[in-house]
Amino acid sequence: MKILLMGNPNVGKSALFSRLTGVKAIVSNYPGTTISYTRGVMRLGEEVAEVIDVPGTYTLEPTSEAEKIALQLLNDGDIVVNVVNATNLERNLYLTLQLLERGIPVVVALNIWDDTKHLGIDIDVDKLRGLLGVPVIPTVAVTGEGIKELVENIPRATSPQAPARSRNQRWAAVGSITDQVQHITHRHHTWRERLADASVRPLTSGIMALAVLASSFMAVRLISEGLINYVLDPLFNNLWAPVVLKLSSFMGDTGFLHDIVVGRLVNGEVNFVESFGLLTSGLYVPLAMVLPYVVSFYLVLGLLEDTGYLPRLAVLMDTIMHRLGLHGYAIIPTLLGLGCNVPAILGTRILESKRERFIAATLISIAVPCAALQAMILGLVGAQGAQYVAMVYGTLFVVWIILGVILNRLVRGFSPELLIEIPPYRLPLWRTVLQKLWMRTYGFLAEAIPIILGAVVVINILYFFGVFDAIANFTAPVVTGLLGLPKEAVTALAIGFLRKDVALGMLAPLALSAKQLVVGSVVLAMFFPCIATFVVLLRELGVVNMLKAAGIMIATALIVGGILNLIL
């Protein structure tokens, strides 16, 4: 049996999904968090049922890619749990009526029930149940209130065989139902609502955005540097280094196998960045350089997502984003891209047109460095001075703007207008924030560590057989002539296809000047997506557009790298 969780965007379907199945799903406070569906199973008496968390949709007449997915899923579901935002029946019941017309058994979860009380909304649940002809259960998915009753009522889902209506008849029916079941008492503005209004007004919104972004950036740095300096570096240097050094002398200090496992010793000591063995750089790069940054970035992002600030940032950014051929909502996948480009490119599905998705995905994979790469930039380039880090970020930002303006002129098609629901501000719940942080961190570890370890082995083998030297000599005119990097740097660019953090780490032993590090970081960030991003780009854009995007990336990287080499 297939149970579909369906409802408008941002009504808590994913939170309910986690409650029903125990499967963790990303929950945030903005419409469009779930862009693909998630499956899980739950026990219903004796039976085991499949539960599908369907992307949010306002209507069964799809207006975006995510809504098309929702419609396809509906065709092979058995029961729909229609999740309804109890604080906004006027709009949510439209989808409910559409579902009832489809003749599929429905049970309604009246979610966010806790908010109705302080908003002064009084709903007569029994009357609503009678008017709709299906079970209606008040729930609070984030705390678990009403979930047990909802589960008991899923087998009682019924299809009242509602007659097909036209759009106007349906809205009229929604109006008459809400008039009968809902009573609203007036009340005063809360401080959260005042803050909410301030964040979409021209002057105050700009000040708020600066404050939010600056404090987010500071928090990310503070947490990640704290973790590195006080936890991970001491662990690696004081506990792990002696162990590896013992192993190194046991293996005879040198040799093919030694170089793969331990790497090359620098002045008889283990150098976690430069040694490049499985047990040295292979562990240090992902765990002590990248992980702290990933954790702190996703902690801060999770808090921002759950407060409901991001859609307001989209409103503020809308005018600027229009110049790049996008609208304000594209800022959300772009911010996700600062964590990892893969979910960011998937996230471009919230944009309506193909043109926007192409522009957004191309800009993200060129000019938005992921957390892993940023961690390495902060670590390696930052060691030369903060101004060089600023140069890297500044260049990427300028490229993002200029390339966006160019793509806006060249790419055919149209970009629709911004149209988004702005959710109320909510205080983030620690449980959701930490659960989301854990899922994303675990995702990073599970994906990054095998690839990083594999890359270390491959790099050592290729070095051993002199493959890199051959490539380096072949590409020397471009790498040395155009970019001003030593010819060995091409190996790093090639490895960038596997993982960019390892690739940037490969520049460390080359003793580059600060200027060369800036050029190297920028080119590495822009040149080509890593393999994970490449696969998603291919799937989301198709072969032809992927090739176009790849061409743009390579051309931009070489042009910008060349210019940087000349002017720095």
Residues that bind another protein (CB under 8 A): 58-59, 61, 63, 87-88, 90-91, 94, 119, 167, 171, 196-197, 200-202, 205, 311, 314-316, 318-319, 327-328, 416-422, 424
Q: Please report, as a single letter, which amino acid is at residue 375.
A: A
Residue closer to another protein (CB basis): 174 or 407: 174
The answer to whether 93 and 151 have CB atoms below 8 angstroms apart is no
Name the strand (E) or helix (H) holding 524.
Answer: helix 514-527
Q: Cβ 9 to another protein, closest distance in Å?
A: 10
d(CA 379, CA 273): 10
With CA atoms as reference, report the closest residue to 289 among 449, 447, 397, 435.
449
Q: Is 485 helix (H, G, I), strand (E, B) or coil?
A: coil
Residue closer to another protein (CB basis): 144 or 206: 206
The answer to whether 23 and 17 have CB atoms below 8 angstroms apart is yes
Q: Cβ 301 to another protein, closest distance in Å?
A: 21
Q: Which residue has the tokens 């002809």?
A: 133
Q: Cβ 547 to another protein, closest distance in Å?
A: 31
Q: Is 141 helix (H, G, I), strand (E, B) or coil?
A: coil
Residue closer to another protein (CB basis): 206 or 242: 206
d(CA 10, CA 15): 10
With CA atoms as reference, report the closest residue to 20 among 182, 146, 164.
146
Residue closer to another protein (CB basis): 265 or 314: 314
Alpha-carbon torsion (200, 205, 208, 214), positive or negative: positive
Q: Is 423 helix (H, G, I), strand (E, B) or coil?
A: coil
Residue closer to another protein (CB basis): 305 or 318: 318
With CA atoms as reference, report the closest residue to 449 among 233, 288, 243, 256.
288
Residue closer to another protein (CB basis): 193 or 269: 193
Q: Cβ 52 to another protein, closest distance in Å?
A: 22
d(CA 57, CA 497): 36
Residues 6+ apart with CB under 8 A from 18: 24, 25, 27, 141, 435
Q: Cβ 307 to another protein, closest distance in Å?
A: 15
d(CA 429, CA 424): 15
Q: Cβ 163 to another protein, closest distance in Å?
A: 20
3-state helix/strand/coil string of 399-413:
HHHHHHHHHHHHCCC
Residue closer to another protein (CB basis): 33 or 98: 98
Q: Cβ 116 to another protein, closest distance in Å?
A: 11
Residue closer to another protein (CB basis): 181 or 220: 181
The answer to whether 85 and 92 have CB atoms below 8 angstroms apart is yes
Residue closer to another protein (CB basis): 115 or 447: 115
Query: What are the φ and ψ backbone dihedral angles of 85, each rounded to 5 degrees?
Result: -80, 110
Residue closer to another protein (CB basis): 94 or 236: 94
Q: Cβ 109 to another protein, closest distance in Å?
A: 19
Residues 6+ apart with CB under 8 A from 141: 12, 15, 16, 18, 19, 83, 109, 111, 147
**Structure tokens belonging to residue 376:** 């390495």
DSSP labels, 20-61: HH-------SSTTS--S-EEEEEEETTEEEEEEEPPP-S-SS
Q: Cβ 61 to another protein, closest distance in Å?
A: 6
Crossing angle of helices 543-567 and 386-410, rounded to 10°: 140
Q: Cβ 31 to another protein, closest distance in Å?
A: 10
Residue closer to another protein (CB basis): 280 or 307: 307
Q: Cβ 166 to another protein, closest distance in Å?
A: 12
Q: Cβ 119 to another protein, closest distance in Å?
A: 7
Q: Cβ 399 to another protein, closest distance in Å?
A: 23
d(CA 490, CA 476): 8
Residue closer to another protein (CB basis): 128 or 367: 128
**What's the Cα-to-Cα distance from 398 to each of 325, 393, 403, 404, rounded to whole Å?**
16, 9, 8, 10
Residue closer to another protein (CB basis): 423 or 484: 423
d(CA 106, CA 135): 8
